[in-house]
Homo-oligomer: A and B are copies of this chain.
Amino acid sequence: MKAMEEKIRKEGKVFPGHILKVGSFLNHQLDTAFLMEVGREIADLYKNERIDKVVTIETSGVAVAFAAAVELNVPVVYAKKHKSANLPPDLYSAIVHSFTHNTDYTVYISKDFLHPGEKVLIVDDFLAVGNALNGLMEIVGQAGAETVGIATAIEKGFQGGGDAIRAKGIRVESMAIIDEMTDSDIIFRPQDR
């Protein structure tokens, strides 16, 4: 999505340690018109699939997931984060390792909101090593639902998480894939669209 690449070039800020800050439009301030455009793009990419539900993870996944789900006309369910692994039995849960903070946390979704046979599109703001997305796929599997695909706003291609998921045969669409990132330049992976 050219508009995402342009937005990152214009507003993104690169910090040491391969940190890309996009708080001006994606995960602190939300550029609503732009995110609705992203939602339309995601819906269009998956228009030939049956999607019953969009699943994401709090907090920064919620806005882009909501925009995509509005366009797909389906509900969102967002996984919540918890420090403890001790959770009540009415929840699906998975342990996720945070690469950024070097800690583990638990993500969970109530059993009331994911059901066997449902077709799920997983949406998130960032895809780096892919731990959060793998946790969400694990939860979708626990529910007996199916991950139809994944859509992310920004994939850090150089961290390999997206390609590892693609290698398992799961469709991953990222609005922009960053293959290299330095203080002075961002190199995007060419995509057909």
Contacts and interface: CB of A to CB of B under 8 A. Distances in A.
Nearest to A31: B75
A110 B29 CA distance: 9
A23 B58 CA distance: 14
A78 B113 contact: no
Given A59-B58, A113-B23, A80 B28 contact: yes
A30 to B, nearest CB: 4
How many chain copies does the complex carry? 2
Interface in A54-69: 58-59, 62-63, 66-67, 69
A146 to B, nearest CB: 18
A42 interface: no
A120 interface: no
Interface of A: 23-24, 28-33, 35-36, 58-59, 62-63, 66-67, 69-70, 73-78, 80, 109-110, 112-113
